């Protein structure tokens, strides 16, 4: 199954955002992970649709994977699709009808993904598995980059892989050279890495090494 590495823009240098978008693209990573935060859902704030539009402007061919850590993603789906989101990820813990909103994401021309927080049991994803292009298992509590990988979340990945052998399954949080191979063995095929990749002097070498470790 095709594997993908996704640098998370949250860990970029905000004084040099355009350069750091291009650095991620030049690293050989398949897509950029863009974290959108609503402070009623996580204890932090980050970017809005204008930053997604900036990514499209700076690197039009670099795939934009947009993670909405929001209580009411339903209110912003159009705005993010219009700004250039290509996959939109919404949380199962959000305060909206997931069946309806996943369908709307696809109707907007984007891929639809559902996200699961560490404390949420994976089985509740079951009714949505035929309505998504991707499932994202959080391996940290969302809100901040640079946290420690929660390995206890990996059995959720394995459960999902057993249910859907061909589904894209992503992990997000604490991804690095030690933890990404563990997630791969558990059954994930898409891997976010924020602080680990952005702190590298040579991001391309780090992405190449991560890819080599996935087999
Ligand atoms: C956490 C975000 C993650 C974060 C990952 O709230 O959803 O995407 O950027 O950062 P690292 O890889 O540093 O844990
Ligand atoms: Zn994220």
Mean pLDDT of all residues in 21-48: 98
Q: What percent of the chain has pLDDT over 90?
A: 100
DSSP helix/strand/coil, 26: helix
Phi first, then psi, for residue 36 (nearest 5°) are: -110, 125
**Atom 9 (ligand 1): residue with closest C-alpha?**
145
Residue 87 three-state SS = strand
**Distance of CA 10 from the midpoint of ligand 2 (Å):** 8
- Tell whether the model's pLDDT for residue 203 goes beyond 90: yes
Number of domains present in the structure of the chain = 1
User: Does residue 21 have a pLDDT over 90?
Assistant: yes
Which atom of ligand 1 is nearest the CA belonging to 10?
9
Annotation says 172 is catalytic? yes
d(CA 44, CA 144): 7
In Å, how far are 5, 31, 67 from 90, measured between CA atoms? 20, 18, 7
Q: Report the pLDDT averaged over residues 42-65.
A: 98
* Per-residue pLDDT reduced to its tens digit, 146-195: 999 999 999 999 999 999 999 999 999 999 999 999 999 999 999 999 99
Least Cα distance to 34 among 214, 134, 20, 137 occurs for 20
Q: How far apart are CA 183 and CA 134, in angstroms?
A: 15
| Mean pLDDT (the chain, rounded) | 98
Q: Which ligand is nearest to the CA of 89?
A: 2
Please work out whether the CB of residue 101 comes within 6 Å of at least one atom of ligand 1: no
Whole-prediction pTM value? 0.98
Q: The domain containing residue 32 runs over which residues?
A: 4-212
Calpha distance 138→174 (Å, rounded): 9
Q: Write out pLDDT tens, residues 71-116.
A: 999 999 999 999 999 999 999 999 999 999 999 999 999 999 999 9
Domain with residue 98: its CATH number is 3.20.20.70
Contacts of 140 (CB under 8 A, 6+ apart): 118, 147, 148, 149, 150, 172, 173, 174
**pLDDT higher than 90, residue 215:** no
Please compute the mean of the pLDDT values over residues 20-31 and round it to a whole number.
Answer: 98
User: Is residue 64 lining ligand 1, measured as CB closer than 6 Å?
Assistant: no
Task: Pick the ligand that lies closest to the CA of residue 42.
Answer: 1
């Amino acid at each position: 199954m095709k594997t993908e590495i996704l640098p998370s823009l949250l860990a970029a240098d905000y004084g040099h955002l355009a350069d750091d978008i291009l650095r991620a693209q030049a690293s050989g990573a398949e897509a950029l992970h863009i974290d959108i935060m609503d402070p009623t859902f996580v204890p932090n704030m980050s970017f809005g649709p204008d930053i997604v539009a900036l990514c499209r402007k700076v690197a039009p061919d670099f795939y934009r994977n947009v993670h909405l850590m929001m209580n009411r993603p339903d209110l912003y789906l159009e705005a993010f699709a219009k700004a250039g989101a290509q996959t939109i990820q919404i949380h199962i813990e959000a305060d909206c009808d997931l069946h309806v909103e996943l369908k709307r994401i696809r109707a907007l021309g984007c891929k639809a993904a559902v996200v699961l927080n560490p404390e949420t049991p994976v089985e509740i994803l079951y009714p949505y598995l035929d309505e998504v292009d991707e499932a994202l298992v959080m391996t940290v509590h969302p809100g901040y980059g640079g946290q420690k990988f929660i390995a206890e979340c990996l059995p959720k990945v394995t459960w999902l892989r057993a249910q859907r052998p061909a589904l894209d399954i992503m992990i997000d949080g604490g991804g690095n050279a030690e933890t990404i191979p563990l997630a791969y063995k558990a059954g994930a095929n898409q891997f976010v890495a924020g602080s680990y990749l952005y702190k590298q002097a040579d991001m391309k070498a780090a992405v190449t090494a991560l890819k080599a470790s996935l087999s």
